[in-house]
Structures are given as C-alpha cells and as structure tokens.
Structure 1
Amino acid sequence: MLYAPATATLPELLLRPWHDDDVDALVAAYRDPVLRRWTRAPVTTTAEARRFVAAARRDWDDGHRFSFAVVEPGPDGGTPVAQVILKHVTEDGEDAEVGYWTAAPARGRGVAPHALVALTGWAFARFPALRRLDLLHQVDNPASCRVAVKAGYAFQEVLPARPPFPRDGHRHARWA
C-alpha cells in the first residue's frame, strides 16, 4: 500500500491493490460517460468488474502491471475514487508507462495528480533501473494534459493515432 499525504485541500489518499469489495464502486465509476469516453475497456456490469479485479490481481502476480485503487479514507474504510497504474515495467527496463482515471465525484480536486505523484515515487523506488515514465493521452483531452503537468510529467511530443486510439496523442514524461 502507498499513501499520498494530505494537503490543505485534499485528504490523505490510500493507494492499494483492487479488492473484491470494490466491484460496486467500479461499476458506479464507469457509469460516467466522460470516463467511458477515454477508456478502452469500460466496466459496465458486475461480472466485468469481477473480471477487472481478477485481472488486476493476475497482473500484480505477473509483476509487469500494477493497478492501484485510489481511496479517500472514510468511516467505512473508504471507497475507490480513482485508479493509477504502472504498465509495461520490467526489473531491468529503463522505461514504463503510467495511466489513471478519476471517478466523476473526485474530479477537479487534485486526486489524479496527487495519486500519480505517489505512484511515480513508488515506481522509481521499486524498480531501480527505471529512468523514465511516460503518460499518454489523446490530443483532445486537455484535462489529462493538466493532470500530467501537475504531476510533474513534461510534454514531449505528439504521437500519431494508432489502434486502438482513433486520434493523435500526447506523450508526457517524467525522469528519475
């Protein structure tokens, strides 16, 4: 588990692996049309949410993809309000990719950049050979540009569209 410390405007965030108890929160988050617009594999049913959690567990076991539920602590332990993920990482690899999504009620409060900063620190500490992390998003998603910059990921280049992405993209990067 990781913690992103509290700020003046944001409570402490807990970053942890996805649990079976998160299924309802996943389905609720993906009801948001904005989230579905930017996601390649939306979670629309309880069965899909269970597969999502099972796949996240397998990815952790495989050691090349680490998906964290981002939780704002609450009286019941808290509910996931976002996800951050480290992808395409290997023990001796010098680069990998990060990604994220934020549930509608958590948007605009700094949850995504705050969680990405925590994930970034963990990734560089956990994988000593890692030198660069990339954050990719489509060019028509200015909110993701803002998140990237707030999390310390500098714009690098425009990438041409390629399946499964229908539009050109931006690559932002952060170095160790």
Structure 2
Amino acid sequence: MEPVALRTERLVLSPARLDDVDHATALLQEPVMGTMLASLPWPYTREDSEFYIGRMVPAGWASGEALSWAIRESEDGPQLGDIGWRPPRGDVGFWLGAPSRGRGYMTEALRAVVDWVFETTPELDRIGWEAVAGNVASARVARAAGFRYDGERPVEVRFRDGSFPNGWHAHRLRSDDGSAHEGWPL
C-alpha cells in the first residue's frame, strides 16, 4: 500500500521521515513513555528510532499491516507524536510528546484516522483501542473521539517484559457520530 497523508484543520499526518529521528527520540525520553508504551524498547535510543522510522514504518505501509503517521503542524514541521492503524488487529494506537499535549491535537488526529479507515474500508464496522489501565490521557482522547468503553482486561500487545498487564479497552462503530460516551473510568 502506498503511504497516505491526511490533513485536518490544524495538522498534517504523514509517515515519519528519517529527519524525524532525533526529535522523535527526544520526545520518547519522557519516563511516562516507558511506562505507558510498554511495548516500546526502554530506554528508547536513537537506534530504536532509526529502526522504527527507517524500517518498520515503510514495511508496515508496504504490507498494509501497520499504517502509521507522524503528527505535525505543517508539512515540513517537526514530528509531535505518532498515530497508527493496525488492520490485522483492527485497532489504533498513539502517542504525543509532552510539549504538544493539552491542545486537542491527538483527538483531532484520531478522528482523522478513524474517518479515513472507515472511508477506505467499507466492510469494517468497528475500530478498537487499548491502553495500559490507568493511562488517563489516552483514555480521554479515545473518549473525546467517540470511542465506547468496553472494560478492563489484559492488553493484547505484549509488553517488552513479555507480560500482558491489564488495560482499558474501547471501540468505535462506523455508525457512531463521534460524540463522547459515558461509562469511562475517568
């Protein structure tokens, strides 16, 4: 599959580029990233970022199995975070660097990806989301983007230590209008 760029009112979502390596590496040094993104190598190194951006991102797009976008304020702006759609699992995942939080960027990016997925995959009726139980920031984004809370159970993505700790799970239906739903643990 050829990479696709998405645009929102304030953002450009496009595949990460090699010139994003240093900035992405710096953003992922925040200790909370090691806790909440526990499938991420930790400590996260420049080599990890080079591997992800230089090999995993292109391979994911080429196979169609892991589509990821760097989040930017402009086409040539620095990477603020990352959002991905994993078709085999039917779910989304995301992170945003601390300097860009609190502006609604991640909710805007998530809405754009969900809209694109439903638009380009007419047979799909449901998109999933999961986060480590207690990841309130991620849950607030999913709730604001119209996801419905399903409950707490082990995560489906194996953590770097081989475990599957408890996570919060939610979904968004094609028929949902994108408004927030009650029942979230926050």
TM-score with structure 2 setting the length: 0.81
Residue matched to 1:4: 8
- Once residues 144 and 80 of structure 1 are traced to their aligned partners in structure 2, the CA distance between those partners, rounded to angstroms, is 18
Residue matched to 2:44: 44
User: Contact 1:35 / 1:102 at 8 angstroms: preserved in 2?
Assistant: no
- Once residues 150 and 164 of structure 2 are traced to their aligned partners in structure 1, the CA distance between those partners, rounded to angstroms, is 20
- Once residues 104 and 98 of structure 1 are traced to their aligned partners in structure 2, the CA distance between those partners, rounded to angstroms, is 20
Any stretches of 5+ residues in structure 2 without a counterpart? 175-186
User: Contact 1:13 / 1:115 at 8 angstroms: preserved in 2?
Assistant: yes
- Once residues 136 and 151 of structure 2 are traced to their aligned partners in structure 1, the CA distance between those partners, rounded to angstroms, is 14
* Shift of residue 166, structure 1, vs aligned partner: 5.0
* Shift of residue 37, structure 1, vs aligned partner: 1.6
- CA gap of 1:55–1:105, structure 2 versus 1, over 3 A, is same
Judging by fraction of residues, say which structure has more strand.
1
User: Contact 2:71 / 2:81 at 8 angstroms: preserved in 1?
Assistant: yes
User: Contact 1:18 / 1:57 at 8 angstroms: preserved in 2?
Assistant: no
- Once residues 155 and 64 of structure 2 are traced to their aligned partners in structure 1, the CA distance between those partners, rounded to angstroms, is 28
Residue matched to 2:69: 68
Residue matched to 2:17: 19
* Shift of residue 161, structure 1, vs aligned partner: 5.6
* Shift of residue 157, structure 1, vs aligned partner: 1.9
Any stretches of 5+ residues in structure 1 without a counterpart? 6-11
* Shift of residue 73, structure 1, vs aligned partner: 1.9
Deviations 1:8-48 (A, max 9, x none): xxxx1000011111111111111111122211114732222
TM-score with structure 1 setting the length: 0.85
Moved over 3 A (4+): 160-163
- Once residues 35 and 13 of structure 1 are traced to their aligned partners in structure 2, the CA distance between those partners, rounded to angstroms, is 22
- Report the more deviating stretch, 146-155 or 163-172: 163-172
Deviations 1:109-144 (A, max 9, x none): 111111000000111112111110011012211122
- Report the more deviating stretch, 110-119 or 32-41: 32-41
Give the partner amino acid of 1:4.
Answer: T
Number of matched pairs: 163
User: Contact 2:128 / 2:170 at 8 angstroms: preserved in 1?
Assistant: yes
